[in-house]
Amino acid sequence: MSISPYILAARPKTLPAAIVPVWLGCVLAYYLTSSYDGWIAFYTLMGAIWIQIGTNFFNDAIDADKGADTEHRLGPKRATASGLISRCGVYTSALVCLLIASIFGWLLFLERGWTVIAIGIPSLYLCYGYTGGPWPLAYKGLGELFVVLFFGLLAVAGTVFMQLGEWRPEAILLGMQAGLLSAVLISINNLRDRDEDAGNNKRTVAVILGEKKAKLILMVELFLPALLGFIWVWIGHDLWLSLIPLIYLILAIPIAKGVNSQPPSVLYNKYLGLGGLQLILYGVAFHLAALL
């Protein structure tokens, strides 16, 4: 059995959306209190990664079941739709990922108690509910909002809580910044696939609002984090936390120029890659700013 199709279905290029928020939360916790628990960080990171991979497996299988992925798609090949893995194999892989995530969630529960359950159960369900179930978020134009909330606000603030045992307002600010930059990935993806999604009744933001308004939302996701960054100074933190992360704009600007100058096409795969790099660059820059 070849492992390559499973790697394809796991979509490793999306993993920065799981890794960076946990990384940022750990950096923020240390910046605020000079305390850091490496084991809790590891449990949190593993939980986030396996939930992300499980979500990707469910997405691959469910989109194929609904006919949302066809041979005409502009994005990367999908494992289920192309027959590289059986439908049963993909669903089984998704469930195994959720089981692994649950093991790390149990270890976090032993450290932080019932709050972990309150965070974990909705997260585990939405691995499936993002594209499946009676009200799939991705098919109702809620994909971007879901990413901002779960891969931004909850991921960063939750990581800080796991580290410190308390909720900190600074984590909300950082979570919003990270969530918006994570949402860039899904916005570019949905713009690229807008015509195919419209034909398959997948009502993303790009389908519901149209190309022009969807691009405007993408611009907000790209540049609002930079403006929000100046709130760090307003709430009494060092100016470096506002200025150094602005280096991510060296990637945000070409993404904005490219998307606004070109209609959705296979070229958007390039901007999708830049979006992932942009999120990593923001993480590196904020980490440096916190050290300074």
Q: Which residue, 49, 54, 33, 105, is CA-closest to 290?
A: 33
> Distance (Å, rounded) from C-alpha 257 to C-alpha 121?
40
Distance of CA 92 to the CA centre of its chain: 22
Q: Which structure tokens are listed for 187?
A: 């916005």
Phi, psi values for residue 140, rounded to 5°: -120, 15
Of 15-24, 142-151, 198-207, minimum mean pLDDT range: 198-207
pLDDT at 108 over 90: yes
> Distance (Å, rounded) from C-alpha 201 to C-alpha 203?
6
Contacts for 254 with CB less than 8 Å, ≥ 6 apart = 274
> Under the phi-then-psi rule, with left for phi > 0, alpha for psi from -120 to 50, and beta for the rest, what region is 142?
alpha
Q: Where are the beta strands (DSSP E) in 132-291?
A: none
Q: How far does the chain reach from its first CA to its final CA, in angstroms?
A: 49
pLDDT at 205 over 80: yes
Question: How many Cβ atoms are within 10 Å of 282's Cβ, its own excluded?
Answer: 27
> Distance (Å, rounded) from C-alpha 23 to C-alpha 5?
28
Domain carrying residue 251:
4-291
> Distance (Å, rounded) from C-alpha 16 to C-alpha 20?
5
Q: Which structure tokens are listed for 109?
A: 């529960």
| Structure confidence at residue 183 as a pLDDT band (50, 70, 90) | very high
pLDDT at 71 over 60: no
pLDDT (average), residues 247-263: 95
pLDDT (average), residues 105-110: 96
pLDDT at 176: 97
> Distance (Å, rounded) from C-alpha 287 to C-alpha 281?
10
Q: How many CA atoms lie within 13 A of 292 on its CB side?
A: 15
Q: Calculate what percentage of the chain has a pLDDT beyond 90.
A: 67
Q: Which residue, 2, 79, 10, 15, is CA-closest to 276?
A: 15
> Distance (Å, rounded) from C-alpha 168 to C-alpha 185?
27
pLDDT at 4: 83
Residue whose structure tokens are 């066809």: 70
pLDDT at 73: 57
Domain count within the chain: 1
Of 83-87, 100-104, 147-151, minimum mean pLDDT range: 83-87
Q: Which structure tokens are listed for 258?
A: 């490219």
Q: How many CA atoms lie within 13 A of 50 on its CB side?
A: 20
Mapped onto helix, strand or coil, the DSSP state of residue 10 is helix
CATH number of the domain within which 78 lies: 1.10.600
pLDDT at 276 over 90: yes
pLDDT at 13: 84
Residue whose structure tokens are 């779960």: 150
pLDDT tens-place string over residues 112-167: 999 999 999 998 898 888 888 888 888 888 989 999 999 999 999 999 999 999 99
Look at the pTM and tell me if it is higher than 0.85: yes
Q: Calculate what percentage of the chain has a pLDDT beyond 70.
A: 96
